[in-house]
Amino acid sequence: MKINQITYYDHELEWQFKPIYFYELNLLVGISGVGKTQILKSIMNLRKIARGGSLNGVEWDINFSSNNYEYKWTGEFETKEVDAFILDDKEAEKNKFIINREHLSVNGTIIIERNNHEIVFNGTKLPKLSPFESAVKILSEEEDIAPVKDGFNKVIYSDQSRGENSVFVNRHMINSLTITNQSSPKKYSSLEEIQESNLPTQIKLALVYNHYPQTFHEIKQLFIDIFDHVEDIRMEPDKDKNLPKIIADYPFINIKEKGVNNWIIQQRISSGMFRTLMHISELYLSTEGTVILIDEFENSLGVNCIDILSDLLLENRKLQFIITSHHPYIINKIGMEHWKIVTRRGGVVTVKNAKDYNLGKSRHEAFMQLINLDAYKEGIAVG
C-alpha cells in the first residue's frame, strides 16, 4: 500500500487538515503543537475504521495505491455529543456512531456507494447491514475489497520508545508467544510469511533469530556498526523465576558488550539502543507496501543512530515512511524534497512542500531558510 493523498475532518473536535500529498519518504516538520502527530493518528484512525471501528464525527477522503490499482475511499460518521470521561466498557459500547455516507472506487470504477438508507456493492443493493461499521470491514472478504483490508493492515505506528522495552507484555504479544518457541512447529514456513504477518516487531525478530539466522545476522551487524562496543545479540526468555508464567517464554533481547562478562538484559538496555534495533528490524521484517508512521523520530536517538537510520530510510524503496520531527539535525540530514512543512490556523492544519516556499537549492541553504521562515517559526496562527 502507498498513501497518495488524504483529507481528514474531526467534526467532534472541530479540527481538520487540508489535502496532504505523500511520497515514499515524508518528513513532517514544524513546531510542537502544530498538528504533526495528529496527522499520524488520523491515518491510524482510518486503519481502525477499515477494521470496523466507529469514530465520532470523523470524515475522510483518502487516495492510495496497491498492486497497480488506484483506490479512492471517502466517508463520514455522524457527530454526537458524548461524555468524554466514559470509563466503563459497557457504556462505551453504547456510543457507536452511524456512518452517514461511504464511497469506494478502484481505478475510477465505483465498488461501494452508501448512504443512510442503503449500501450498493458493484451495482447490487445489499440487505440491511450494520450501520456502525464501514462497508470496507463488512465486505472485507469480497475479492474487490480484500486488498483494501490487506493494505490498511500494513499501516503500522512505530512507537519503539516504550512498551516493548519494559517488563510489560501486551495481549497481542502474549498471543504470539507460542510460535516463537523453538520446540513448537513452525507456523511460518518462510521469511516472507513472517514479514507479511501482523506480529509485533520483537516477535518477528525472535522468529528470524530461531529460524533464519542469516537475516538475524544482517540485522545484528547493522546494529553493531552503530554501536561498535557491542559484540553480540541474542533472544531468550527472562530467567527471573518470579515472572508470571504467561510471559515465561517471551523472547527478550540480550546484548553482550566487549570486555563485559555478563549479558545485558532487555530491561537495562538504553532506550536509544533498543529503539535503533527495533527500527532496523522493521526495515528488514516489514513486507513490501508497508506504511510506517514514526512520531518524533529523534526520540532517544543519538547523532550516530540518526545518521545510519536516516541513510537506511533514504535507501529503502519498498516501504513508505511518514515521519515527524522538529529536530534541526534530522531536518538537515533528510533532503528538502522529502520535507512537508506543517502549519496551523485555529483548527485547520495545512501541509506544504519545501518547493512551495521557494527554498534554496542546496540542502544547507534550504535548511537555513526553513528555520527562519515565518510559517515554520510561528507555525500556529489564531483565528
Domain boundaries, the chain: 2-154+318-381, 160-286
- Answer yes or no: is pLDDT of 77 > 50: yes
Task: Please report the pLDDT score of residue 228 as a whole number.
Answer: 94
- pLDDT at residue 164 is higher than 50: no
Based on the number of CB atoms within 10 Å of its own CB, is 102 exposed (0-12), middle (13-18) or buried (19 or more)?
buried
pLDDT recorded at residue 185: 39
Is the pLDDT assigned to residue 184 strictly greater than 50?
no
Q: What is the pLDDT of residues 224-262, one digit of tens each?
A: 999 999 999 999 887 765 666 656 678 899 999 999 999
pLDDT at site 90: 58
* Closest C-alpha to 16, from 27, 30, 6, 28: 6
Q: Does domain 2-154+318-381 have CATH number 1.10.3470?
A: no
Q: What is the pLDDT of residue 248?
A: 63
For 358-368, the pLDDT digits (tens) are 887 777 788 78
Burial of 168 (0-12, 13-18, 19+ CB in 10 A): exposed
* Residue 92 pLDDT exceeds 60: no
Residue bearing cell 467532534: 12
Q: Look-up: residue for cell 456507494?
A: 113
Answer whether 6's CB lies under 8 Å from 62's CB. Answer: yes
CA angle centred on 154, ends 337 and 325, rounded to 5°: 35
Residue of higher predicted confidence among 67 and 107: 107
Of the two residues 218 and 302, the one the predictor is more confident about is 218
Nearest one of 278, 287, 138 to 205, comparing CA atoms: 278
Q: What distance in Å separates the CA atoms of residue 43 and residue 47, rounded to the nearest whole number? A: 7
Please report the pLDDT score of residue 242 as a whole number. 64
